[in-house]
Amino acid sequence: MASKAPMNVKHNSENVFCLVLTKTRLYQGLALIQSLNKVMGEDYCIFIHCIDHESFTFFKKNKPKNCHVVPEKKFPKEILLLRKERQIHEYCWTMKPVLCEYILKKYRNVKRVTYLDSDLYFWENPRQIFENQPDCSVLLSIEEKYLPNLNTAVLRNRIKMTGLYNSGFISFKQDEMGLKAVKWWKEKCLETCKISTKEGLFGDQKYLDELPALFQKVCAIKTAGVNVGPWNYLKYQFSTHNDMIFIDHHLLIFYHFSGIRVTAKDNIQSVYQANWNLPLVYELYKKALNVVVDEVEKMDPSFNGFAGETDLQKYWN
């Protein structure tokens, strides 16, 4: 897994990703990276910003191939000071647009940067998402809410609270609209990045609802098999064929395992779902996480990235 080879941004300028990590999301972050390796080979690179010392130290010693660690010294002090004022999850949300903008400005040859939450897992190459909508400066994932017998009023209330889009996968192009949009998102998150339904705030995510009206070429992703997660998995029939995952008749590109926490070796828990009547991808994800935990244990026996009681609390009720 580890490699000291320098990352070549130039040769992977079409497929540049980034994520923000803490020590309790490190196992999932590594599983995400391994899933990208499977579907993209070496045709990508990924920037990682570690919020805490433990995750930063681990990645500096055990940096996966095609990865680049961005230390906190690369960001302005006024941004870093927010770490003392905000809860850890709020600060992680804040840093998402900060990291995206940093990459676009520092590496001008990067044609597009895509932010990934650490709890995503890929089964197909995401490059097709960009190829299907090449003229879009910003690509947003619709957070399609679905539950059986969900009435219109409840659905409307959920959308009002969390927003139309999910910020776990959001892509910005290296052009005027892409740069303006990520700057605007960054400034809003620096201003405040908390969940307050009374104020119409939902971390970094609710702001995305405003992007299509403010900037041109902001598009909802049309490619099927994207951003399937706890909010809509009951809508689909899952099946497998030759190691491929299908939802209905479409290939699953990635699943968003939102709310999953690695609490111990061979054990994961969900913050949201009390029952585990879940699609088969959860069992596959659990196996992938077990492999990662074993690998990390061999690389650094002293590292402990298991989630504790605080991590199992919901950010909102």
DSSP for 185-204? HHHHHHH---EEGGGTEETT
Task: Please check whether residue 252 is in contact with residue 124, taking contact to mean a CB–CB distance below 8 angstroms.
Answer: yes
Tell me which range, 209-218, 260-269, 301-310, is most confidently predicted by mean pLDDT.
209-218
How many domains are contained in the chain? 1
Establish if 281 belongs to a structural domain: yes
- Cβ neighbour number for residue 256 with a 10 Å cutoff: 24
Establish if 22 belongs to a structural domain: yes
Establish if 55 belongs to a structural domain: yes
Taking only the tens place, the pLDDT of each residue in 137-182 is 999 999 887 766 667 777 778 888 889 999 999 999 999 999 999 9
Establish if 1 belongs to a structural domain: no
Least confident of 27-31, 98-102, 132-136, 141-145: 141-145
Residue listed under structure tokens 């991808």: 281
**Cα separation of 87 and 78, whole Å?**
16
Establish if 137 belongs to a structural domain: yes
Residue 61 is part of a domain; what is its CATH number? 3.90.550.10
Q: Which residue has the higher pLDDT, 262 or 274?
A: 262
Establish if 274 belongs to a structural domain: yes
Letter for the amino acid at 221? I
Q: Check residue 126 and give its pLDDT.
A: 97
Establish if 317 belongs to a structural domain: no
Which helix (H) or strand (E) covers residue 240, if one does?
strand 238-241
Please give the angle made by the CA atoms of 232, 20 and 278, to the nearest 5 degrees: 25
Establish if 4 belongs to a structural domain: no
Task: Please check whether residue 114 is in contact with residue 104, taking contact to mean a CB–CB distance below 8 angstroms.
Answer: no
Task: Please check whether residue 64 is in contact with residue 33, taking contact to mean a CB–CB distance below 8 angstroms.
Answer: yes
- Domain residue limits at 159: 10-309
**Cα separation of 110 and 142, whole Å?**
25
